[in-house]
Amino acid sequence: MINVKASHRPIIDYRHIRPSDLEVLEKIHDELFPIRYESEFFHSVVNGRGIVSWGAVDRSQPESQNDELIGFVTARIVTAKESEIEDLIRFESSQSDETLVYILTLGVVESYRNVGIASSLISEVIKYASSITTSRAVYLHVISYNNPAIHLYKRMSFQCVRKLYSFYFINGQHYDAYLFIYYVNGGRSRCSPMLELVALLLSHAKSGFKSVAGMLWRKEDKKVSRWPRNRESGVLPTIQSKTPTK
């Protein structure tokens, strides 16, 4: 994998991910995420089977490496009605086919961070979602302690609309997640901004109460991976022993 030198001036280009990216794509996912994605996921990405994706490459690298991925974003279209955030979308009565774009994975190799690559990749997803007339929002989950990613989504005007307690189960531990949303094409929440804030606070309070109640009942740990809400994509990652980052 490319490891850029400090003095190096990268020339970043963006393109769709293709079959020749398979090996590097798997390698970067393996290095950046605490879970192992199944091979089926990567094949779906590179072949565009139900997943849209963009990659970043550094054209200033020697020819053998100037088309090698140094960043990626993968996403899929879900119907708004079947999504877990149906309640956050205000439906037009005339349209029953409204869709959302769900970001599955996003990553940039360490030596290329903080130059705006992830921001550009997310912009590609937003542009894509905006170009689909039925699309109403882009949304994603992020593990609650991933401050660089949370900062990035907030800076890009994503709204944090929900806290999901114990959403992820990694290496025997539960982790909370935040759900971030970016509305497109006039998509909007069902409630006013003030009501949204109240709903968010209530959801925090309710989930907090559930956690306490759960502790009191000493419920047995569910030995289930709550990793990427890829139940939507049918992608079932297996857990590996690493520090979670998402």
Ligand X SMILES: CC(C)(COP(=O)(O)OP(=O)(O)OC[C@H]1O[C@@H](n2cnc3c(N)ncnc32)[C@H](O)[C@@H]1OP(=O)(O)O)[C@@H](O)C(=O)NCCC(=O)NCCS
* 142 forms part of the interface with ligand X (CB under 6 A): yes
Judged by beta carbon, residue 77 or residue 156, the one nearer ligand X is 156
Question: What minimum distance in Å lies between the beta carbon of 127 and ligand X?
Answer: 15
Interface characters, 7-46, with ligand X (x: CB under 6 A):
-------------------------x--------------
Judged by beta carbon, residue 116 or residue 234, the one nearer ligand X is 116
Question: What minimum distance in Å lies between the beta carbon of 180 and ligand X?
Answer: 9
Phi-psi region of 75 (alpha: psi -120 to 50; beta: other; left: phi over 0): beta
27, 151, 190, 231: which one binds ligand X (CB under 6 A): 151
> How crowded is the C-beta side of 152, counted as CA atoms within 13 Å?
22
**Packing angle of the helix pair 39-46, 22-32 (nearest 10 deg):** 130
Q: End-to-end distance of the chain based on CA atoms, in angstroms?
A: 21
From 14-22, 92-100, 151-159, 190-198, span contacting ligand X (CB under 6 A): 151-159
SS3 (DSSP) at 129 = helix
* 191 forms part of the interface with ligand X (CB under 6 A): no
# binding residues, ligand X (CB under 6 A): 20
SS3 (DSSP) at 228 = coil
* 160 forms part of the interface with ligand X (CB under 6 A): no
Name the residue among 156, 70, 146 with its Cα closest to residue 112: 70
From 47-55, 103-111, 195-203, 228-236, span contacting ligand X (CB under 6 A): 103-111
**Rounded CA gap, 215 and 192, in Å?**
34
β-strand partners of 103 = 75
From 19-27, 110-118, 123-131, 199-207, span contacting ligand X (CB under 6 A): 110-118
SS3 (DSSP) at 187 = coil
The pair phi, psi for residue 238, each rounded to 5°, is -105, 155
* 113 forms part of the interface with ligand X (CB under 6 A): yes
* 152 forms part of the interface with ligand X (CB under 6 A): yes
**Residue 101: other Cβ atoms inside 10 A:** 23
Judged by beta carbon, residue 166 or residue 245, the one nearer ligand X is 245
119, 157, 173, 192: which one binds ligand X (CB under 6 A): 119
Angle, CA 175 vertex, CA 169 and CA 178 arms, to 5°:
120
Instruction: Name the site residues for ligand X (rule: CB under 6 A).
Output: 32, 106-108, 113-119, 142, 146, 148-149, 151-152, 155, 245-246
